[in-house]
Each structure stands twice: as C-alpha cells, then as structure tokens.
Amino acid sequence: MQRVAIVLAAILLAETAGAKMLSPGDPFPTWKLSDQTGKEVSAADLTGKTYLLWFYPKAMTPGCTTEGKALRDEYAAFQKKGVEIIGVSFDDPAANIAFVAAEGFPFRLLSDRDHKLALAVGAADSSAQPTARRISYLVGPDGKVVRAYETVTPASHAGDVLKDLTTD
C-alpha cells in the first residue's frame, strides 16, 4: 500500500512539474506540433529566428479572439522587428483552421493535443487540464527565452510585447 502511495505521489509530481514558468535566459524546450493545416512545425524550424509563442485557452472564445485580433492587427510591426507570431492551444487543427479563417490570422496556430509543450513551459498544470493557461514567451534566435509573459491581458498583449521589443 505504501508503495502505491509513493508511485501515485511521483505521478502527481511529474504532472505538476509543468506548472513553473521559464525565465529569461532559460533554453526553450524543443518541440514539434502540427499547425492548423496539419503541417508539422518545430523549434528546429525556427532556429535563428525570434518568435512569440502565445498560448491561448480555446479558439473562437472572446478573450482568445481579442488577443488574436490584436496580434493580427500588429502583425506588420512584428514582422518589421523580425518576430514570427505562433499561437498554441489544445484545440485540434480543424478548430484552429476555422479560427484562422474567421479572424484572418496571418500566423500559424499549433495544436498541443497531448499538452507536452504546455506542461514543459507552465501553460498547464496537468495533462488533464482542459485548456491552456494564457501565457506567452518571446524566444530569441538562440532558442533561449527573451521574455516570459505570465500575466497576459488579451487586448493589450500585442502592444506590450512590441513595447518590450523596443526597449530591449
């Protein structure tokens, strides 16, 4: 019985290990996910590029739509600064393709269906969590975290990141 309790405690610890946010300077984990078209995208594909990885709870919901539209509306400013925008949720590619089509997003939306990336970077506390936590990471060309956004306000997030890019 004690052995079962120890095993269960170890599983719970492993499940909650993803709750911690990464800090600036930390290497961002390697990852490979499918975008809304089913094409695989990986951290290796982005080596040498700066990218904003924004986790959002659920496609086509008010807060996520507000945040996505703000990023869409500032897309040219991000491009001018050499920053690629990539969204991540637990939604399947079909939900993400509908979201892209409905809102005219010029960026990719990735499906983290097994929650592995979310657990690794603090966007989820367990694999049973139904939606991702609304956080973002600005990752530099060297694959290290430049900025970690633990608190995100959907309407102002794009402007906040652009301001940070100007002051860095």
- Which residue in the list 53, 59, 64, 85 is annotated as catalytic? 64
At 150, the pLDDT band (50, 70, 90 cuts) reads: very high
Helix (H, G, I), strand (E, B) or coil at 137: strand
Give the global pTM: 0.87
Is it the case that residue 4 has pLDDT exceeding 70? no
Active site annotation includes 90: no
The residue with greater pLDDT, 167 or 79, is 79
Residue 18: CB partners within 8 Å, gap ≥ 6?
A: 115, 118, 119, 120, 121, 122, 123, 124, 125, 126
Full set of structural domains in the chain with CATH: 2-167 (3.40.30.10)
C-alpha span between 71 and 101 (Å, rounded): 15
List the beta bridge partners of residue 52: 85, 138
At 1 the pLDDT is 53
